[in-house]
Amino acid sequence: MMLIETAANFDVRDYLRKEMMPHFLCPGCGHGIALRALLWAVYDLGLDKDKLAVVSGIGCAGRLSAYIDANTFHVTHGRPLAYATGLALARPDLHVVVITGDGDCLAIGGNHLIHACRRNLKLTCLMLNNEVYGMTGGQVSPTTSETRLTTTTPLGNQEPHFDACALATAAGAGFVGREVTHHVPKLKELIKAGLEHPGFAFVEVLSDCTEIFGRKNDMGSSSEMIMRQKSEIRPSAYLDTVDTPFRSNALPTGILTKNSRPEYGAAYRRAAAARAGAS
User: Which of 38, 61, 82, 251 is the binder for another protein (CB under 8 A)?
Assistant: 82
89 binds another protein (CB under 8 A): yes
User: Which of 18, 27, 158, 275 is the binder for another protein (CB under 8 A)?
Assistant: 275
Shortest Cβ 182–another protein spacing (Å)? 30
Residue 94 CB partners (closer than 8 Å, separation 6+)? 51, 52, 53, 71, 87, 88
According to CB under 8 A, which residues from 113 to 132 bind another protein?
114-115
Piece of 28-36, 141-149, 247-255, 268-276 that binds another protein (CB under 8 A): 268-276
Shortest Cβ 123–another protein spacing (Å)? 11
DSSP state for residue 22 in the 8-state scheme: S
User: Which of 29, 33, 70, 226 is the binder for another protein (CB under 8 A)?
Assistant: 70
Neighbours of 17 (CB within 10 A): 14
Nearer of residues 8 and 276 to another protein, judged by Cβ: 276
Piece of 90-98, 157-165, 189-197, 245-253 that binds another protein (CB under 8 A): 90-98
12 binds another protein (CB under 8 A): no
According to CB under 8 A, which residues from 50 to 69 bind another protein?
50-51, 53, 55, 65-66, 69
User: Which of 7, 20, 45, 227 is the binder for another protein (CB under 8 A)?
Assistant: 20
236, 162, 164: which is closest to 193 by C-alpha? 236
Shortest Cβ 140–another protein spacing (Å)? 23
87, 89, 109: which is closest to 202 by C-alpha? 109
**DSSP SS3 for 12:** helix
Whole-angstrom distance, CA of residue 202 vs CA of residue 116: 10
Neighbours of 227 (CB within 10 A): 13
Nearer of residues 58 and 233 to another protein, judged by Cβ: 58
Whole-angstrom distance, CA of residue 184 vs CA of residue 92: 30
65, 55, 56: which is closest to 17 by C-alpha? 65
Nearer of residues 53 and 226 to another protein, judged by Cβ: 53
Whole-angstrom distance, CA of residue 204 vs CA of residue 129: 7
74 binds another protein (CB under 8 A): yes
- Burial of 20-46, coded b for 16+ CB within 10 Å and e otherwise, reads eeeeebeebbbbbbbbbbbbbbbbbee
Shortest Cβ 150–another protein spacing (Å)? 25
Pairing of strands 132-133, 139-140: antiparallel
Q: How many residues does the chain have?
A: 279
User: Which of 35, 39, 40, 71 is the binder for another protein (CB under 8 A)?
Assistant: 71
Contact assessment for residue 98 and residue 124, using Cβ atoms and an 8 Å cutoff: yes
Q: Which residues bind another protein (CB under 8 A)?
A: 17, 20, 49-51, 53, 55, 65-66, 69-76, 79, 82-91, 93-94, 111-112, 114-115, 268, 271-272, 275-276, 279
